[in-house]
């Protein structure tokens, strides 16, 4: 018997109308979801929107920042209430030690994510794996994602992976795959990123949210 679509109270919205409409409210609670896309695809903007929407509703959010890339100014501009955000900072790896450093950062980030999910009480918990090499991520046992899914089943928490390419869709949650085309103001080194025209493909094994949608994302 197909599952019924989630109700708005069971979702965490992006506050991006075309995408939330496609998702029938937003990302479902109690599920492991992922936002996948290359750099400049709009993936970080979407994540900031998701966290901002959660904190504006009075929720608590957490971000595991694996490679220490979180930009506080961008978060404030997106409307995130920093007093309601737990920011777990990773560390940038040096060029000469990139492989070992990335592995160590990844292992510590996954452990931190597990601890946060076990603690409970969060509306949105996200981990930024966008700068982790995909080959390194694929070396993780698939049971890694299944454990994360089990940790939030039945809870009012949405867990989000931010990745460069789809990784854990078969763990049961939604996968949003992004492609983006940047628009610029000016030319050459004086150019400034204006925004991104985003195409999102939504896939879910639970069938209540599948399709494609286009929208603009400010830089």
Dump pLDDT digits (tens) for 24-73: 899 999 999 999 999 888 899 999 999 999 999 999 999 999 999 999 99
Q: How far apart are CA 161 and CA 64, in angstroms?
A: 10
pLDDT tens digits for 183-199? 555 555 444 445 557 78
Identify the helix (H) or strand (E) that includes residue 100.
Answer: helix 98-119
Report yes or no on 79 lying in a domain.
yes
Hey, CA dihedral for 15, 25, 132, 63, is it positive or negative?
Answer: positive
Of 18-27, 141-150, 190-199, the poorest mean pLDDT is in 190-199
- pTM for this model (two decimals): 0.84
- Domain residues for 136? 9-218
Report yes or no on 1 lying in a domain.
no
Q: How far apart are CA 216 and CA 131, in angstroms?
A: 23
Report yes or no on 29 lying in a domain.
yes
- Region 156-185: what's the mean pLDDT? 80
Which pLDDT belongs to residue 104? 83
Residue 168: pLDDT over 70? no
Q: Which residues is 193 bridged to in the sheet?
A: 184
Counting the structural domains of the chain, the total is 1
Q: How far apart are CA 177 and CA 155, in angstroms?
A: 25
């Amino acid at each position: 018997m197909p599952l019924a679509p989630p109700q708005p109270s069971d979702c965490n919205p992006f506050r991006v109308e075309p995408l939330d409409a496609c998702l029938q409210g937003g990302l479902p609670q109690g599920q492991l979801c992922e936002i996948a896309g290359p750099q400049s695809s709009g993936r970080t903007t979407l994540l900031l929107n998701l966290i901002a929407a959660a904190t504006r509703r009075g929720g608590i959010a957490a971000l595991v920042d694996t490679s220490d890339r979180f930009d506080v100014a961008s978060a404030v501009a997106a409307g995130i209430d920093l007093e309601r955000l737990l920011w777990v900072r990773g560390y940038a790896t040096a060029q000469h030690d990139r492989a070992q450093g990335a592995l160590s950062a990844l292992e510590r980030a996954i452990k931190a994510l597990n601890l946060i999910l076990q603690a409970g009480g969060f509306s949105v918990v996200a981990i930024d794996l966008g700068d982790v090499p995909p080959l390194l991520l694929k070396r993780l046992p698939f049971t890694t994602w299944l454990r994360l899914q089990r940790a939030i089943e039945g809870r009012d928490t949405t867990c989000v992976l931010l990745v460069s390419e789809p990784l854990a869709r078969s763990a049961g949650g939604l996968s949003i795959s992004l492609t983006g085309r940047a628009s610029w103001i000016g030319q050459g080194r004086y150019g400034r990123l204006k925004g991104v025209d985003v195409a999102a493909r939504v896939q879910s094994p639970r069938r209540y949210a599948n399709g494609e949608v286009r929208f603009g994302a400010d830089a």
